[in-house]
Homo-oligomer: A and B are copies of this chain.
Amino acid sequence: MTYCIAASIDEGLVLVSDSRTNAGIDNVSTYGKMHAFDTSDDRTLILLSAGNLATTQAVLEQVHRDRVKGAEINLNTVDCLSSAAHYLGQVSLEKQQQHKNPAGQSAFDSSASFILAGQIGEDDHGAYMIYAEGNSITTSTHTPFLQIGETKYGKPILDRFLTPHTSLDEAAMCCLVSMDSTIRSNAGVGAPIELLIYRKDSFSLGEYYCFQDDDPYMLDLRHSWEEQLKEAFSCLPALDKSDAHPLKAKL
């Protein structure tokens, strides 16, 4: 399993990913899912990957080769993020297709999904989620984040807290709490946790963190969050007992 988040907010981008890969519960490995490309100076592009590991590795390899060999379309020639997302979708489809028979069926699930985030030239920074089908969506003011992999456990905290006006550091903590919730609830998601904070127009990958399982900061964050939640519950409005009435047995 996998869990990756990209928050695209006013100040820039926050990207968080886990590193656990499994083919069955008894075949668990560690692979980073945050990939940066050595592109031209006018662009910064990061890819988060989920799904079949063979497919995601094949896609990364192809995208790398296209750029190095100067293919007509590659990460250095696309002129905007949406074109980059379209290109990645096509490469992904091609790699998935290689494991299907002529009827379009695969003996296994070769699908993969991606989040491409970054900034190209004078365009604003942004993020695109690329579905296994090759098409893609971006964020909006109302939904300033994208998720791939095991998305449900960690979504409520993003829904409740993340807005375009959230600061980069607060968004980073929100995404880390979302990741921590997912790790607690799904054994297929695990450390090391990678975090990249991209400040808009910086074209720099300088603020990157990699937290191991026993990282003091992550332990501190989890402990503090749970303490804060207890505090939060104690401040919630009490039930009005006068609203209570008996549940009628109908059966």
Q: A interface vs B, CB < 8 Å? A: 34-39, 46, 60, 63-64, 67, 152-157, 159-161, 169-170, 172-174, 177, 181-182, 184-185, 194, 196-197, 204-209, 217, 220-221, 224-226, 228-241, 243-251
Q: In angstroms, how far is the closest chain B Cβ from the Cβ of A184?
A: 5
Contact between B229 and A36 (Cβ–Cβ < 8 Å)?
no
Given A36-B249, A153-B152, A250-B36, does the pair A173, B244 have CB atoms closer than 8 Å?
no
On whether the beta carbons of A208 and B159 are closer than 8 Å, the reply is no
**By the criterion CB–CB under 8 Å, are B60 and A251 in contact?**
yes
Q: Is the CB of B250 within 8 A of A209?
A: no
Those 7 A-B pairs whose CB atoms lie nearest each other, nearest first: A152-B152, A228-B232, A208-B247, A156-B181, A38-B249, A36-B249, A205-B247
Which of B157, B228, B243 touches A235 (beta carbons < 8 Å)? B228
A152 CA / B157 CA spacing, docked (Å): 13
Q: Quick check: B169 and A246 within 8 Å, CB to CB?
A: no
Min Cβ gap A163→B in Å is: 11
Cα–Cα, bound, A155→B153 (Å)? 7
Residue of B nearest to A198 (CB): B247
Task: State whether A185 and B217 are in contact (beta carbons under 8 Å apart), knowing that A233-B174, A236-B224 are contacts in the complex.
Answer: no
Task: Give the CA-CA distance A230 to B171 in the complex, in Å.
Answer: 11
Q: Which one, B174, B184, B236, contacts A228 given CB within 8 A?
A: B236
A181: chain B residues at CB < 8 Å are 156, 159-160
Given A177-B236, A208-B245, 17 other A-B residues pairs in contact with their CB atoms under 8 A: A36-B250, A37-B249, A46-B247, A63-B251, A154-B156, A156-B157, A156-B184, A157-B229, A160-B225, A161-B226, A173-B236, A205-B248, A208-B244, A209-B243, A217-B240, A224-B236, A229-B232
Q: Which of B38, B197, B220, B247 meets A34, CB within 8 Å? A: B247
User: Hey, which chain B residues are within 8 Å of A36, CB to CB?
Assistant: 247-251
Q: Which B residues are CB-close (under 8 A) to A172?
A: 239
Q: List 6 A-B contacts (CB under 8 A).
A: A36-B251, A37-B251, A207-B244, A208-B247, A221-B236, A228-B235
Return A77 CB to nearest CB of chain B, in Å.
Answer: 16
Q: Which residue of B lies closest to A182 (CB)?
A: B156
The CA-CA distance from A66 to B25 in the complex, in Å, is 42
